[in-house]
Amino acid sequence: MLRARWPTPTSRRSELFEALRSEAAVSAARLPRGAPFAKLAALMDTTTEGYDFGSNWRSFIDHHLTDERRQEALSSLPAFLRQNSLEGKTFVDVGCGSGLFSWAAYKLGAKQIVSFDVNPNSVACCKQLRFDEGEPANWEVLEASVLDDEAMRTLGEFDVVYSWGVLHHTGEMWHAIENAASLIGPGGLMWIAIYNRADAVGLHSDGRVGSSRFWEREKAFYNRLPKVGQLAMDYTAAMGMVTAYLLSGRNPIREIQQHKQNRGMSWLVDIRDWLGGWPYEYASVDEIFNFVHGRFGYALENVISTNSLRNNEFLFRRPAT
Ligand SMILES: C[S@@+](CC[C@H](N)C(=O)[O-])C[C@H]1O[C@@H](n2cnc3c(N)ncnc32)[C@H](O)[C@@H]1O
């Protein structure tokens, strides 16, 4: 018989309470504010153009960003870059979202950091993290799109270009990859994470089901729903995940809490990001490698691949000369 590994009885209630409390706070923060009729109108509003990543990052910053999560984010950078410090390096965070990885680059000693995002709420989150560090002069936060050729040209070149989970959400993924790649200076690195092309219709190892094509349709559908429908989908998916954990003998509380080991992220914030993250594109490892290597001649220095719906991660290096 499959059995869940529960925490000790004394800690069980407080762990469950803590997990539920923080997730409930996030949902409350997403509910529209104002008079009852205005709230109702906002809940029924269907005028969204693409997913509002920035609001999700606002929830993350306000309700989830603990020191523990910061440390997880901090340790994720040296591991994949295979260097313990960024001292003396310039770093650009393309689609910075919460700003957590710009903050990590700052803590790792990068000499200059440029963070930018197209979503004003994401930009505000990143500015808040910069503000908390005393607004250092070597860390700049901008509102810009990676698809804006002119703006990208004026940014210059960097030792490290970091764009995790961004370029596939722009609506023009190949154009976005091209522009991100053009930001790497001679001998510099580009770390990109791009959703894998999953053709299988079945069950993936992380509990998600279906093909990339299916999820493309789901995300388009989600973004046409009024907010109240989106909240219903968020919680239906969350309950589905909890049920899947129980059926496979895993402790849901531990799964939710351990989710932070994924770059400091939060379980429900990631569920919403996955359900709503649209525009959405995807590519196989060879499609990305052939495009970047073929067009720019950059070498692949590190890779983490998946056969599920998750991201493949690539570390490309531009030749020094
Ligand atoms: C899934 S989040 C990833 C955030 C962050 N890179 C991280 O690793 O946590 C995707 C981010 O890409 C941003 N984004 C989408 N299209 C963009 C564009 N054209 N230019 C810049 N940022 C964009 C979104 O606003 C969002 O903040």
Q: What pLDDT tens digit does each residue of the chain (321 aa) get?
A: 333 333 333 344 444 445 555 555 555 555 555 665 555 555 555 555 789 999 999 999 999 999 999 999 999 999 999 999 999 999 999 999 999 999 999 999 999 999 999 999 999 999 999 999 999 999 999 999 999 999 999 999 999 999 999 999 999 999 999 999 999 999 999 999 999 999 887 788 777 889 999 999 999 999 999 999 999 999 999 999 999 889 989 999 999 999 999 999 999 999 999 999 999 999 999 999 999 999 999 999 999 999 999 999 999 999 998
Classify residue 263: in a domain, yes or no: no
Classify residue 218: in a domain, yes or no: no
Ligand 1, pocket-test mutation among 55, 142, 166, most atoms within 8 A of CB: 166
What residues contact 285, with CB distance under 8 A and at least 6 apart? 196, 303, 305, 312, 314
Q: Work out how many domains the chain is built from and give that number.
A: 1
Q: What is the CATH number of the domain that holds 76?
A: 3.40.50.150
Question: Distance between CA atoms of 101 and 83, rounded to whole angstroms?
Answer: 15
Burial of 96 (0-12, 13-18, 19+ CB in 10 A): buried
Classify residue 150: in a domain, yes or no: yes
Tell me the residue range of the domain where 290 lies: 67-198+281-317
Check pocket membership of 166 for ligand 1, CB cut-off 6 A.
Answer: yes
Span from the CA of 154 to the centroid of ligand 1 (angstroms): 20
Full strand arrangement of the beta sheet holding 299-304: 139-143, 112-117, 90-94, 158-164, 184-195, 311-317, 299-304
Classify residue 60: in a domain, yes or no: no
Classify residue 135: in a domain, yes or no: yes
Classify residue 285: in a domain, yes or no: yes
Classify residue 78: in a domain, yes or no: yes
Span from the CA of 10 to the centroid of ligand 1 (angstroms): 41
Classify residue 248: in a domain, yes or no: no
Check pocket membership of 97 for ligand 1, CB cut-off 6 A.
Answer: yes
Span from the CA of 98 to the centroid of ligand 1 (angstroms): 9
